[in-house]
């Protein structure tokens, strides 16, 4: 199966190539991405990012948390819940943006 490329514009991290259908939360670390994780199960909101690319929309539980954390941003996602189905670009939130 094809790989998907995850890029991190606005950071110094190099793009990563991961397998189609990989869950981001299982592969990203402080060493390979600018994203911080906590629970990695979609509960804490630590991994809030803006994601642009060809990925499935959030499921109900993720949507609930996003409605609280970033109600006005359609690009907001919980990185730990993203399943890769295409190339994506991820930017982190600045603390004054939320």
Minimum CB–partner distance for residue 38 and ligand FES (Å): 4
**Residues of this chain that bind ligand FES (CB under 6 A):** 37-40, 42-47, 78, 80
When the beta carbons of 2 and 61 are compared against ligand FES, the nearer one is 61
Other beta carbons within 10 Å of 67:
12
Q: Cα–Cα distance between 3 and 52 in angstroms, integer?
A: 17
CB of 29 to ligand FES, least distance (A): 12
Of 34 and 42, the one with the shorter C-beta distance to ligand FES is: 42
Nearest residue (CB) to ligand FES, 2 versus 73: 73
List Cβ neighbours of 21 (8 Å cut-off, separation of 6 or more).
Answer: 1, 83, 84, 85
CB of 6 to ligand FES, least distance (A): 15
The upper half-sphere exposure of residue 18, i.e. CA atoms within 13 Å in the direction of its Cβ, equals 22
Structure tokens at 69: 């954390």
């Amino acid at each position: 199966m094809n790989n998907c490329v995850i890029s991190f514009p606005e950071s110094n991290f190099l793009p990563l190539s991961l397998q189609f259908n990989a869950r981001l939360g299982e592969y990203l670390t402080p060493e390979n991405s600018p994203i911080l994780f906590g629970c990695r199960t979609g509960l804490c909101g630590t991994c809030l990012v803006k994601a642009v690319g060809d990925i499935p929309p959030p499921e109900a539980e993720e949507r609930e948390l996003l409605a609280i954390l970033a109600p006005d941003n359609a690009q907001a996602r919980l990185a730990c819940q993203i399943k890769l189905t295409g190339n994506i670009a991820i930017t982190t939130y600045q603390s004054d943006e939320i």
